[in-house]
Amino acid sequence: MVTLNVEDFGQHHGETVSKFTWRASDGFSVSVISYGATIQSIQVPDKYGITSDVVLGFDELDGYVNRNTPYLGTTVGRCANRIGGAKFSIDGTTYQLANNIGKDHLHGGINGFNKANWNSTVDGTKVIFSYLSKDGEEGYPGDLITNITYEVTEDNALHVDFMSTTTKKTVVNLTNHSYFNLAGHETGVQEIYNHIFVINADKITETDSGSIPTGGFISVGGTPYDLRVPTKLGDVINKTGNGFDDNFCISTYTNKSLNFVSRILHPSSGRTLEVYSDQPGVQFYTSNSLPAPQESALVGKQGVGYRRHGAFCLETQNYPDAVHHTNFPRAVLYPGEVYKHKVVYRFAAAAAEKLQYPIVLPA
C-alpha cells in the first residue's frame, strides 16, 4: 500500500510551498514540491535493502529559488530544451522569446515553469499540480493551462502525466529535469561512470555548435552514441567531448503509445531505472554544466557538493527546436487540442548485473 503525506516546505512570495511524499511498503518513497512541480527526493532500496536518495536536489526551498540554475528535478516549459534564435513564427506572426542561453532560448525562458509555485489538489494518492501561463508570458502566445499528475504505485514506479490546453496556437514541449545517480546522490562522478545504459534509439538529431538541430539525423551505429546494447558510461563518455547532451530518437515511437525509452543499472547496488514515455525523443544529459573539479561545487542535499558528470538526466520530449523543422513532430498546440505527455520511471534492485531489454510495459 502506498501512503501520501503533505507538509509545508516554506514560503514563496507569501504563498505556501507544499511537499508531497509517497511511501511504499518496502521503503521506496518519492517527494515532490509545488514550487516548479519539482521532484525533490526519490529514496530507493538497493539489493541489500539499504535505501539511498537517487536524485540531486536541495533540502530547503532557498536552493530551488536562488541556486537551481541547473533545473534540478523541476518541470520545464512552456518549451523544454532549445529554440534556435529565441523566436518562432506562427501564421505570419513572429514571437520573440528570452535568449537565455547565448542567442537561443532554453527551457521556457528566464521565468519558466520551474519558477512557478503550482496550485495543487490531492485525489486519493494522486497529486495534480496546475498552472496558468498567461498570454505573453515569456513571449509565448495564448493562455496555457497545464495540469501535471504525479502518482506512485506499489511496484516502485513514479507516473507523471502532463496535460495542456491553449487559447491561441502556441509551442508546448514539457518535461521533467531530474538528475539521477542510482548509487546515491552523494556518490558523484566515479559511480556515475559505473552505470550501464541502454537507450532505445537508432539515431540522434544532428546539431550545430550551439546545440541547435540542423534538421538532419545521425545514425548511432559505430559511434559512442550507440547505446542500444548495454554500455558502461565510463567507456564512452570521454569519446563525446564534454559528455552527452543529445536528443535520442526513440526507435519504436508510435504516436501516443507508451514506449520503452531506457534502462539503467548500477551494478554494485543492483538498482535499476526503467523509463517509458509516449514522446518521440529523450534528451540524455550527463550534467555537463555542473561545476568542474577546479570550481566551487553546487551544494545540495546534506551539504553534498554536486559536480560535472555527477548525475544523468533522461528528459522525455519532442525533438528540440521542432517549431523550426517541418520534418520533426509538430510542436504547435492548437486551441481545442489537448497536449498530453506521459512518462513512467520504474525503480527496482536485483543482484543480477546483466542488463537486458524489458519485455512488459507498465499498465
94 Cβ contact partners less than 8 Å away, ≥ 6 residues apart: 87, 88
- pLDDT above 70: percentage of residues in the chain: 96
pLDDT tens-digit readout, 323-339:
999 999 999 999 999 99
End-to-end C-alpha distance for the chain, whole angstroms: 17
pLDDT tens-digit readout, 133-186:
999 999 999 999 999 999 999 999 999 999 999 999 999 999 999 999 999 999
In the set 159, 177, 266, 341, the catalytic residue is 177
**Beta strands 87-90; 29-33: pairing state:** unpaired
Q: What pLDDT does residue 257 have?
A: 82
Q: What pLDDT does residue 353 have?
A: 43
Give exposure, 267-282, as e/b (b: 16+ Cβ within 10 Å): bebbbbbbbbbbbbbb
The whole-angstrom separation of Cα 128 and Cα 335 is 22
> What is the 8-class DSSP label of residue 25?
T
Strand order in the sheet with 245-250: 213-219, 201-207, 245-250, 281-285, 313-317
In the set 151, 186, 315, 341, the catalytic residue is 315
Task: State the DSSP H helix or E strand holding residue 341, giving kind and residue range, or none if neither.
Answer: strand 339-349
Q: Peptide bond before 330: cis, by omega within 30 degrees of 0?
A: no
Q: What pLDDT does residue 255 have?
A: 73
For residue 363, pLDDT over 90 is answered with: no
Question: Using an 8 Å Cβ cutoff, are 100 and 151 in contact?
Answer: no
Residue 82 among known ligand-binding residues: yes
Question: Using an 8 Å Cβ cutoff, are 203 and 220 in contact?
Answer: yes
Closest by alpha carbon to 85, among 139, 141, 136?
139
All cell numbers assigned to 314: 533522461
pLDDT tens-digit readout, 175-212:
999 999 999 999 999 899 999 999 999 999 999 999 99
Distances (CA, A) of 311 to 84, 248, 314: 26, 18, 10
Question: Using an 8 Å Cβ cutoff, are 317 and 281 in contact?
Answer: yes
Q: What pLDDT does residue 355 have?
A: 43
Residue 178 among known ligand-binding residues: yes
All cell numbers assigned to 289: 554544466
Domains of the chain from N-terminus onward: 3-349 (2.70.98.10)
307 Cβ contact partners less than 8 Å away, ≥ 6 residues apart: 188, 189, 290, 291, 292, 293, 297, 298
Residue 181 among known ligand-binding residues: no
Annotation says 315 is catalytic? yes
Model confidence band, residue 354 (pLDDT cutoffs 50, 70, 90): very low
Q: Alpha helices of the chain — where are they, by DSSP H?
A: 61-66, 189-194, 233-236
Query: Which stretch of 105-109, 194-198, 255-259 has the lowest confidence by average pLDDT?
Result: 255-259
Residue 245 among known ligand-binding residues: yes
Q: What pLDDT does residue 29 have?
A: 98
For residue 321, pLDDT over 70 is answered with: yes
The chain-wide mean pLDDT, for the chain, equals 95
Annotation says 107 is catalytic? no
> What is the 8-class DSSP label of residue 329?
P
pLDDT tens-digit readout, 269-313:
999 999 999 999 999 999 999 999 999 999 999 999 999 999 999
Q: What pLDDT does residue 357 have?
A: 46
pLDDT tens-digit readout, 225-250:
999 999 999 999 999 999 999 999 99
For residue 169, count CB atoms less than 10 angstroms from its CB and return exposed for 0-12, middle for 13-18, buried for 19 or more. middle
267: left (phi over 0), alpha (psi -120 to 50) or beta: alpha
pLDDT tens-digit readout, 2-16:
999 999 999 999 999
Model confidence band, residue 359 (pLDDT cutoffs 50, 70, 90): very low
Rg (CA), the chain: 19
Distance of CA 121 to the CA centre of its chain: 22
